[in-house]
Amino acid sequence: MKSKLIFSGLLVIGMAFTSCEKCAECHYDGPNGQVEIGEYCGDDLKDIETSGKTVGGVNYEVHCHEH
């Protein structure tokens, strides 16, 4: 009985660590300086870093930093 409880506890802890989603604050360097665009997580974070941010027909490279 005690071993089942310990195993269950370890399983829950393991799932908590693997389900964490990476998030980061992002910005791009516009013509008037740095523009903050907010926090992105998971697939959205990967997408914005890969594709950049298009503003007024101009695509800017996005930089993201974990917090």
Sign, CA torsion 49/39/44/12: positive
pTM for the predicted model, two decimal places? 0.65
Quote the pLDDT of residue 66.
73
- The whole-number average pLDDT for the span 17-25 is 77
Quote the pLDDT of residue 1.
65
Quote the pLDDT of residue 21.
80
Widest distance between CA atoms in the chain: 65
- The whole-number average pLDDT for the span 54-66 is 94
Quote the pLDDT of residue 3.
65
- The whole-number average pLDDT for the span 44-62 is 96
End-to-end CA distance of the chain: 41
User: What CA–CA distances, in Å, run from 40 to 3, 5, 19?
Assistant: 40, 37, 16
What is the spatial distance between Cα 26 and Cα 51, in angstroms, rounded to a whole number? Answer: 13
